[in-house]
Amino acid sequence: MQINLATLRAFLDTGGPALWAIAGLSVVTLAIILWKLWGLLRLGIWSIASAERALAQICAGQTAGATGRGIYARFVADVVATRRLPDAAAREETARLAQHVLGRLRSGLRPLELIVTIAPLIGLLGTVLGMIEAFRVLQESGGQGDPSLLAGGIWEALLTTAAGMAVAIPAAVALSWFESIAESAQNRLEDMATRIFTQSAQAAMPVAQNKAVD
């Protein structure tokens, strides 16, 4: 284990501070991804069936016992509770509830987006600094430097660019996936809210017609 750590440290020292910074970003990226996955599992973002069953019961007029697990089921229950309010207030409260859910789903994505942006830039900065150092050594040697040493310096300089891209690409994929989950959730919440309001409007129509006849 000590040998592996020593090898890793020597590798990071090869790329200089830029490679150390990228290594730190890789750890942060992994931590954010795991934290987001754990958070989505706790929210029950993939527990759609129970919410659909509860929604089906509500649309059938059976509000009693229409419960379920997961963030969608809780949203359905909260929207049904808003029907006690006037229509305009109920719609505003539903929009607030949806924004709250989407805010929880999108939490933590801004740091991931920042890593996608700065990781390649840090790698490029390390490459530029390494190239400057390589050509400085070549100048000090009067142009008589060993080509193998120059090539080695360039290789070390390009290492940071590759490392930055190696961190940014998985982070970009994860960011795109999390954003797609939030976008899909937004469409599903809008659909559920519309179905509840439509059912409520249909249920109120016979009452209004009976009053008109009387």
Residue identified by tokens 């020593």 is 6
**Would residue 120 count as lying in a domain?**
yes
Q: Is residue 95 part of a domain?
A: yes
Q: What was the pLDDT predicted at 116? A: 95
Q: Which of 171, 210, 179, 181 is nearest to 45 (CA)?
A: 181
Model confidence pLDDT, tens digit, residues 45-82: 887 777 777 777 766 666 555 565 778 888 888 888 88
Whether 7 is covered by a domain: the verdict is no
pLDDT of residue 179: 94
Which residues lie below 8 Å from residue 75, measured CB to CB, with a gap of 6+?
A: 51, 97, 98, 101, 189, 192
In a domain, residue 81? The reply is yes
pLDDT for 200 equals 64
Domain of 156 in residue numbering reads as 21-199
- Four-CA torsion 66, 70, 74, 79, nearest 10 degrees: -90
User: Residue 203: CB partners within 8 Å, gap ≥ 6?
Assistant: 61
For the chain, residues with pLDDT lower than 70 are 1-3, 5-13, 15, 58-68, 137-153, 200-214
pLDDT at position 194 = 84
State residue 159's pLDDT score: 85
pLDDT computed for residue 208 by the predictor: 43
Q: What is the mean pLDDT of the chain?
A: 79
Query: Is there a domain that residue 5 lies in?
Result: no
Write the pLDDT tens digit of every residue in 148-168: 556 656 777 788 888 999 999
Q: Is 209 within the bounds of a domain?
A: no
Residue 148: what pLDDT?
Answer: 59
Other beta carbons less than 10 A from residue 164's beta carbon: 27
Q: How many domains does the chain have?
A: 1
pLDDT of residue 204: 53
Q: Is residue 11 one of the residues assigned to a domain? A: no
